[in-house]
């Protein structure tokens, strides 16, 4: 009888561990979305404040930058997704970036909702595990008391 309880307890423990891993992955995902939003904020701020003729540092990758002069701030190349980019007027570029932020807000909300559901599920499993442990301890105590009574 106790072996089955131990087995169920171990199964609950494994389910809890899997939920914890899934929660961690989702939290990392949300952090990535937030970082992407911050990057977009920086881009919007740059688009709105830079002027034609301004000198900027352009990232080349690997932590290397080159100084460049902005030729025409009125035309911005914006990623549309799927490895496609398009030249946009300054205001249109800001609109595209704001829509990306709105989409990220939606993804963050959906992912956080999923996190809440998984946390609720995790709490339920933890309560089940605690109840099982208590029951098993009570059974052990009863068995020990029964053995003592039998020995006397």
- The token pair at 134 is 């208590």
List, for residues 25-69, the tens digit of each pLDDT value.
999 999 999 999 999 999 999 999 999 999 999 989 999 999 999
Region 79-96: what's the mean pLDDT? Answer: 92
Q: What is the mean pLDDT of the chain?
A: 91
Which of 109, 129, 127, 128 is closest to 117 using CA atoms?
109
Q: For strand 84-89 and strand 64-69, is the pairing parallel, antiparallel, or unpaired?
A: unpaired
The answer to whether residue 136 scores a pLDDT higher than 90 is: no
Helix axes 90-151, 2-49, angle to 10 degrees: 160
The answer to whether residue 2 scores a pLDDT higher than 60 is: no
Model confidence, pTM = 0.75
| Residue 76 CB contacts under 8 Å (≥ 6 apart), including other chains | 47, 87, 88, 89, 90, 93
Q: For strand 75-81 and strand 84-89, is the pairing parallel, antiparallel, or unpaired?
A: antiparallel
Q: How confident is the model at residue 104 (pLDDT cuts 50, 70, 90)?
A: very high
Region 95-99: what's the mean pLDDT? Answer: 95
Note the pLDDT of residue 147.
Answer: 85
Note the pLDDT of residue 107.
Answer: 97
Q: How many CB atoms lie within 10 A of CB 33?
A: 20
44, 94 contact by CB (below 8 A): yes
Q: How confident is the model at residue 148 (pLDDT cuts 50, 70, 90)?
A: confident
């Amino acid at each position: 009888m106790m072996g089955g309880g131990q087995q169920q307890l171990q199964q609950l423990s494994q389910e809890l561990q899997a939920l914890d891993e899934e929660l961690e992955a989702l939290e990392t995902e949300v952090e990535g979305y937030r970082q992407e939003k911050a990057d977009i904020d920086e881009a919007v701020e740059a688009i709105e404040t830079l002027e034609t003729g301004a000198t900027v540092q352009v990232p080349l990758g690997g932590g290397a930058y080159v100084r460049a002069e902005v030729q025409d701030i009125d035309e911005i190349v914006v990623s549309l997704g799927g490895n496609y980019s398009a030249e946009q007027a300054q205001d249109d570029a800001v609109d595209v970036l704001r829509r990306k932020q709105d989409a990220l807000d939606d993804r963050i909300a959906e992912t956080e909702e999923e996190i809440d559901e998984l946390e609720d599920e995790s709490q339920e499993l933890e309560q089940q595990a605690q109840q099982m442990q208590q029951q098993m301890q009570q059974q052990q105590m009863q068995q020990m008391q029964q053995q003592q009574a039998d020995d006397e």
